[in-house]
Amino acid sequence: MARIAIDMDHVIADAHKGLLDWLSKTYAIEPSMLPGQRFKDVLSIDQHFALSKRLETAEFFFNLKPVVDSIETLKTLQNNHEVFITTAAMFVPNSFKAKYEWIKKHLPFFETKRIVFCGDKSIISADYLIDDHIHNFENFKGRGLLFSALHNELDTWPDRLSGWNDIGRFNF
Ligand SMILES: [Mg+2]
């Protein structure tokens, strides 16, 4: 049995789709205009500011859709492993309640004691950390598995998972 820490935004909750839908609706900016680039490199200062404000709302987090296949695979995974959700919620305090309620709504089977709201993820003690940001692997003692997202497609990392099918197939 392995201990697996899994990030929430962009991995379990589809923050990417939430952001892209908002950018498309508000500024007619489409995903094809963003490959491998951070939003701040593509958007104007005003657009990026508006996006940052959107990201500070509880509504944004609560209304995200689950990433494809995440719920079923998580269910299976936690039957065989010790699974934690580790989210850097400290950077967006307005998200605390919305994230907690989101997990209760979409993952009712997930034990409350395995939800970790944190800041610096190097404090996490686990065999694996699945995350969409390689900076979260700095000083992490276990093995970091990069979950593919638009903003990390140009990053070089030895272990990359392209989706929840890859997590389901991974030999933990
Ligand atoms: Mg994330």
Tell which residue, 51, 74, 59, 67, has the closest CA to residue 149.
67
Q: How confident is the model at residue 153 (pLDDT cuts 50, 70, 90)?
A: confident
What is the value of pTM for the model shown?
A: 0.91
Number of structural domains, the chain?
Answer: 2
| Residue 132: per-residue pLDDT | 97
Residues 106 and 27 in one domain: no
Residue 52 neighbours by CB under 8 Å, 6+ apart: none
Cα–Cα dist 167/171, whole Å: 9
Ligand 1 center to residue 8 CA distance, Å? 6
Residues 74 and 143 in one domain: yes
| Residue 102: per-residue pLDDT | 98
Residues 98 and 161 in one domain: yes
Residues 132 and 144 in one domain: yes
Average pLDDT, integer, range 121-135:
97
Mean pLDDT of the chain, nearest integer? 93
Ligand 1 center to residue 46 CA distance, Å? 24
Q: Taking CA 74 as the corner, what is the angle to CA 38 and CA 102, rounded to the nearest 5 degrees?
A: 65
Name the catalytic one among 9, 14, 131, 132: 9
Ligand 1 center to residue 51 CA distance, Å? 16
Residues 124 and 56 in one domain: no
| Residue 37: per-residue pLDDT | 66
Ligand 1 center to residue 67 CA distance, Å? 12
Residues 28 and 91 in one domain: no
Residues 112 and 40 in one domain: no
Residues 49 and 78 in one domain: no
Q: Tokens for 9? A: 């935004």
**pLDDT tens, position by position, 23-79:** 889 988 877 776 666 777 778 899 999 998 998 999 999 999 999 999 999 999 999
Whether 19 has a pLDDT exceeding 90, the answer reads no
Average pLDDT, integer, range 6-23:
93
Residues 123 and 85 in one domain: yes
Concerning whether 69 is annotated as a catalytic residue, the answer is no
- Please tell me the number of Cα atoms within 13 Å of 29 on its side-chain side: 18
Ligand 1 center to residue 6 CA distance, Å? 9
Residues 106 and 53 in one domain: no
Q: In this prediction, what percent of the chain has a pLDDT beyond 70?
A: 96
Concerning whether 127 is annotated as a catalytic residue, the answer is no
Q: How confident is the model at residue 106 (pLDDT cuts 50, 70, 90)?
A: very high
- Of 18-32, 97-111, 115-129, least confident by mean pLDDT is 18-32
Domain that holds residue 165: 3-14+63-169
CATH number for the domain including 146? 3.40.50.1000
Ligand 1 center to residue 158 CA distance, Å? 18
**pLDDT tens, position by position, 57-66:** 999 999 999 9
